[in-house]
Amino acid sequence: MKSPIAAAALLAAMFGFSTAVYGHSHKMKHGNHGAHTMGGVKVTSAWARATPGKAKNGAAYVTIANDGQHKDRLVAVKGSAAKKIEIHTHLMEKGIMRMRRVEGVDVPAGGTVTFKPGGLHLMLMGLEEPLKKGGSLSLTLIFKKAGEVAANIRILSVGAMGAKGGHGHGGHSSHK
Ligand SMILES: [Cu+2]
């Protein structure tokens, strides 16, 4: 049986239904976004050595933990602290420790990669200003799967070996 009241009820129902759909899709977007933010890798430690005098280059060190199900790979780093930022490692060549640029660093599922003096480091080439102890700088680490992950780098002393301290050896002053 058709009546104006039934038609109005139907319209109200349709209106109500479409409102519910909008509300639902909004919630879904939020849910997906929230689930997407991590992607498995996170920076658990991030520090740099203060630079002496007018050093053009500096080095930053991060610890990356991957608690996801899949391996990931650090492929690039960007930031405004230096003109160019590269991923470097140290290799022993004919008895001499040399720095080498690497294209990327794998972070295995369930694994941790620790950058440290004498090993992997983020090379800050052409510093905009000296790195001062007690200061900080921001870098963005770019992973193959997780995408961009921000890292707030704490600047420690010139010879710092990490949060636990220790002795320093050499620096990056000879790097060209
Ligand atoms: Cu280097």
Per-residue pLDDT reduced to its tens digit, 22-31: 434 344 444 3
Would you state the structure tokens that stand for residue 113, as one six-digit string? 């990669």
Is the pLDDT at 167 greater than 50? The verdict is no
Mean predicted confidence (pLDDT) in 11-22: 44
Residue 172 C-alpha to ligand 1 middle, in angstroms? 7
**What integer pLDDT is reported at residue 162 of this predicted model?**
84
pTM: 0.71
pLDDT band at 17 (very low <50, low <70, confident <90, very high): very low
Chain-wide mean pLDDT for the chain? 80
Please tell me which residue, 82 or 92, carries the higher pLDDT value.
Answer: 82
**Tokens 């295995």, residue located:** 108
Residue 58 C-alpha to ligand 1 middle, in angstroms? 8
Is the pLDDT at 37 greater than 50? The verdict is no
Query: Tens digits of per-residue pLDDT, 49-60?
Result: 999 988 999 999
What CA–CA distance (Å, rounded) separates 156 from 110? 28
**What integer pLDDT is reported at residue 31 of this predicted model?**
39
Please tell me which residue, 40 or 79, carries the higher pLDDT value.
Answer: 79
**What integer pLDDT is reported at residue 22 of this predicted model?**
42
Residue 59 C-alpha to ligand 1 middle, in angstroms? 7
Residue 118 C-alpha to ligand 1 middle, in angstroms? 9
Residue 66 C-alpha to ligand 1 middle, in angstroms? 24
Is the pLDDT at 11 greater than 70? The verdict is no
pLDDT band at 8 (very low <50, low <70, confident <90, very high): low
The answer to whether the beta carbons of residues 142 and 75 sit under 8 Å apart is yes
Residues, Cβ < 5 Å to ion ligand 1:
88, 99, 123
User: Of all helices (H) and strands (E), which one includes residue 143?
Assistant: strand 136-143
Is the pLDDT at 67 greater than 70? The verdict is yes
Helix (H, G, I), strand (E, B) or coil at 21: helix
- Superfamily name with CATH number, domain 41-156: PCu(A)C copper chaperone (2.60.40.1890)
Torsions phi, psi of 25, nearest 5?
Answer: -65, -30
Query: Tens digits of per-residue pLDDT, 99-145?
Result: 999 999 999 999 999 999 999 999 999 999 999 999 999 999 999 99
Contacts of 14 (CB under 8 A, 6+ apart): none
Residue extents of the structural domains in the chain: 1-37, 41-156
Torsions phi, psi of 121, nearest 5?
Answer: -155, 160
Left (φ > 0), alpha (ψ -120 to 50) or beta: where does 26 sit? alpha
Please tell me which residue, 49 or 173, carries the higher pLDDT value.
Answer: 49
The answer to whether the beta carbons of residues 42 and 151 sit under 8 Å apart is no
